[in-house]
Structure 1
């Protein structure tokens, strides 16, 4: 028996990027709910790309840019939201914020929680050779990615995906398909399934020990390193993967293990095997 649709809700969206907020707003609105506000994020000084702006949102949706996460609670309270949905926000929300909506706040995390908690779940999944990733909606609590699970699914993580944007579109599609179930459970007051205590793994930002390409390593390992860094996206402190080619430093953007058409890419002989550098940015 199919659960009835929940009544129309006022849903706040917490998302910082133009790749994440608009699709999430559309998914909520398509279910008949109203999105009065999107909580965005102030541009960091070192942020290389576009951050969410008011022109990215549909008419009737306000954009709130808090000075700090301590201001998020006040914004959600001011818009009197019944529930809030979050995806890809770059800062941990305080407990005072996630408890403002009367039905609670939920977050979409691209892993099978409790595995790969933290800010870089897909990057670590690629680094570890995973061929699939989870998509989990969970209640938000005082800790990070530890709340009870409301819905989850699995999507492929194949070799064709090379960027955060590519992963994000698949995650959001799967997340949107789960939203009716998630919101229905919120309306019914269901707590969700607790994550197993004492289990899980942490997926933090990559560190310096993974930032430099060692050409004496196996070609497949280097290829995975390049893909993992590019899917992980912007790093606030460490730049990678950095390789030396002909005495100059380059940040590698795309490689392949299969010989490309003539005149394409730069062939590198590695410790084991060969790969071709298809795209790179000079650093010197």
Structure 2
């Protein structure tokens, strides 16, 4: 008798929601497989992952069928308007969205029997939009929120089903590093979220405080000014690298010895001898540890 593949095992605790058919809406190989695993471990079925067509300027690889376990289809619609039809065709009870790069139309959000939920890496309504963690780093936050909410016709405005916070410490320097912590926290909240959906729980309206928007960084933050404080530049480099791919603007760009570089990693502490390039800034020194030439 062949032992089940670990990704196919499904042991559902009695207190969890009844087995559901769940569509995962996610575009990256760092996110979709982990969500499929988490849902299957809870005893739910995942018949399909809805991915996203690779943009021409995308630097990394997008989700492929080789990233998913057996029995899970990958659908890659050419338009977001097609998502509703896919969800109806698979007859899913709920859709779980995570980091999808386009706003889902209202028809898609309403297509599953129990609706569509989304995980957003902020304490909503703070940092709504596509770049919440980048802005949190830019603003000096030491913690970020992780919020599961119902999706509605607007972006990141739906009622809250579960929330928590996680540390945003100096060791985190990439989208992948932050994403692994967000996914871990999000997966731990999934049983609670799905139970509330099955009960027909509407969730709590987002708090009545001023909402903030976290859009993509613009040109005004893309260029490094060496006359600025070293700590400001260090934060700028970290914010851009955690924010990940930008569809229109490349940053942070610095000129060193007449050559343009995209900075990847810096430190405010003097590294071991022979490591990094020391730059004297307006206030203090900064060491460039990694950079890509642009010229």
- Answer whether TM exceeds 0.5 for this pair: yes
Q: 1:92 matched to which residue of 2?
A: 103
Could you state the TM-score of these two structures normalised by the residue count of structure 2? 0.95
Q: 2:7 matched to which residue of 1?
A: none
Q: 1:274 matched to which residue of 2?
A: 285
Deviation at 1:39, TM superposition (A): 0.3
Could you state the TM-score of these two structures normalised by the residue count of structure 1? 0.98
Q: 1:107 matched to which residue of 2?
A: 118
The answer (yes or no) to whether the contact 1:3–1:184 under 8 Å persists in 2 is: no
Q: 1:234 matched to which residue of 2?
A: 245
Q: 2:212 matched to which residue of 1?
A: 201
Q: Secondary structure at the match of 2:46?
A: coil
Q: Secondary structure at the match of 1:36?
A: strand
The answer (yes or no) to whether the contact 1:150–1:185 under 8 Å persists in 2 is: yes
> Structure 1: which 5+ runs fail to align?
none
Q: 1:182 matched to which residue of 2?
A: 193
1:29 aligns with 2:40: yes
Q: 2:143 matched to which residue of 1?
A: 132
Spell out, residue by residue over 1:27-56, the C-alpha distance to the aligned partner (whole angstroms, 9 max, x if none): 111100000000000000100101000000
Deviation at 1:85, TM superposition (A): 0.4
Q: Secondary structure at the match of 1:255?
A: strand
Deviation at 1:6, TM superposition (A): 1.0
CA distance in 1, matches of 2:129, 2:147: 13
The answer (yes or no) to whether the contact 2:125–2:209 under 8 Å persists in 1 is: no
CA distance in 2, matches of 1:200, 1:112: 10
Deviation at 1:196, TM superposition (A): 3.4
Q: Secondary structure at the match of 1:253?
A: strand
Provide closer, same or farther for how the CA distance between residues 3 and 199 of structure 1 changes in structure 2, counting only shifts above 3 A: farther
Q: 2:15 matched to which residue of 1?
A: 4
Provide closer, same or farther for how the CA distance between residues 124 and 222 of structure 1 changes in structure 2, counting only shifts above 3 A: same
CA distance in 2, matches of 1:68, 1:130: 36
CA distance in 2, matches of 1:31, 1:9: 10
Q: 1:68 matched to which residue of 2?
A: 79
Deviation at 1:3, TM superposition (A): 8.9
Q: 1:192 matched to which residue of 2?
A: 203
Residues paired across the two proteins, number: 283
1:210 aligns with 2:229: no
Q: 2:5 matched to which residue of 1?
A: none
Deviation at 1:4, TM superposition (A): 2.6
Spell out, residue by residue over 1:161-216, the C-alpha distance to the aligned partner (whole angstroms, 9 max, x if none): 00000000000000000000000000000000011357210000000000000000
1:150 aligns with 2:141: no
